[in-house]
Amino acid sequence: MRRPIVVGNWKMNMLISSSRKWVEELLNISDCAGTIDIVVAPPFTSISVVRQYLEGSKVLLAGQNLASIAEGAQTGEISANMLKDAGCDYVILGHSERRQYQRESDGLINKKIFLACQSGLNVILCVGESMGERNSDKTNDVIERQLTACLEGLSEDQLNSLSIAYEPIWAIGTGNTANPNQVQDVHGFIRSWCEKSLGKSLSRVTRILYGGSVNSQSSPALMAQPDVDGLLVGGASLRSKSFYDIIKSSF
Ligand code: 13P
C-alpha cells in the first residue's frame, strides 16, 4: 500500500563533474526501474546536470531546502517554484543540520512546508532527537512537538504527499545506526501520532523513512520493520555503487 522509497541526500558534497559521473555510474549498474521510488537530493548547483543525465530514467530529484517566502528580495535563497521549475518532485525540510546550524525553528519549517505544497513538491519532513533527549526518555515528546508544530494548519490534501523521516541526531554521520527495534519503536509512535492527529486514512498512506548512518549491511533489517517505508541516506549515497547496494539489499 505504501510504495517504498530510498532517498540519497548529498548535503554539501559533489561538484558538477562528480554529480554527472555518479548518475552515469548508477544508470550503468541499473536502470532503476521498479517498484520503489528512488530519489536523489543534489546541492542546488548540480540539480540541472543531474536532471539532464537522469533523463529517461525513473530516478526522481529532490531539493535539500527552500526559502520561507514565495519570491522576492532574499539574496541567496531558492524558492519552492524554482525547485519545481528545475525538475524537483521532492524537497527535504526540517533536517537537523538546518535546525542546528541555520537555527531553523518548527514555525519556519511550517511556512516552508506550506510553500512546498503550493508548488506541488512532495515534502520529506525530518524529525529526531539528540542523544541527551533519548537518554532522558524524551524521544517521543520531541518527535510529537516537532510533528505538531511543523504540520500545523495543513489540509488533508496538502498532507497527502507528505513523508516523514525519522533521523535521530546521534545516528547521523556517526556510524551508529539506530538498531531496528529502536527504529520500529519510534516509527510506530509516529504512525500512531499520524492516526490520532491526521486521521486513519492519512496514517495508512504516510511514508515513514529512517535516516542515520544507513549502509547496505544495516538496511535490510531496517526495511524489514513494519513501519519502515524507506531510507534517507547521507554518506553512503555519495558513491553510486554503495547507494545502489543499499537499494539492492533492501528490496
Ligand atoms: P548519514 O547517512 O551520513 O548518517 O546522514 C543521514 C542524513 O542526515 C540524511 O539526511
* Res. 167: pLDDT tops 80: yes
Pocket, ligand 1, Cβ cutoff 6 A: 9, 95, 167, 172-173, 211-214, 232-236
Three-state DSSP at 157 gives: helix
* Res. 250: pLDDT tops 90: no
At residue 29, the pLDDT reads 87
Over residues 62-73, the mean pLDDT reads 98
Q: What is the mean pLDDT of the chain?
A: 96
87: left (phi over 0), alpha (psi -120 to 50) or beta: left
* Res. 100: pLDDT tops 90: yes
Q: Which three cell numbers stand for residue 107?
A: 514555525
**Ligand 1 test: best mutation among 91, 213, 216, most atoms within 8 Å of CB?**
213
Q: How confident is the model at residue 20 (pLDDT cuts 50, 70, 90)?
A: very high
Q: Which three cell numbers stand for residue 162?
A: 507528505
At residue 249, the pLDDT reads 86
pLDDT in tens, 123-132: 999 999 999 9
At residue 91, the pLDDT reads 98
At residue 125, the pLDDT reads 98
At residue 30, the pLDDT reads 80
Comparing CA positions, the residue from 81, 89, 143 lying closest to residue 112 is: 81
At residue 251, the pLDDT reads 79
Q: Which three cell numbers stand for residue 40?
A: 536523489
How far CA 72 is from CA of 78, 80, 114, 145, in Å, comes to 10, 12, 17, 31
CB neighbourhood size of 115 (10 A): 22
pLDDT in tens, 180-207: 999 999 999 999 999 999 999 999 999 9
Over residues 87-93, the mean pLDDT reads 98
CB neighbourhood size of 173 (10 A): 13
At residue 188, the pLDDT reads 98
Q: How many domains does the chain have?
A: 1
- Amino acid identity of residue 12, one-letter, is M
* 95 is known as an active-site residue: yes
**Ligand 1 test: best mutation among 172, 177, 222, 237, most atoms within 8 Å of CB?**
172
pLDDT in tens, 74-85: 999 999 999 999
* Res. 31: pLDDT tops 80: no
At residue 1, the pLDDT reads 79
How many whole angstroms from 210 Cα to the centroid of ligand 1?
9
At residue 179, the pLDDT reads 97
CATH number at residue 119: 3.20.20.70
Number of H helices, E strands in the chain: 12, 8
- Give me the percent of the chain exceeding a pLDDT of 70: 99
Range of the domain at 188: 5-250
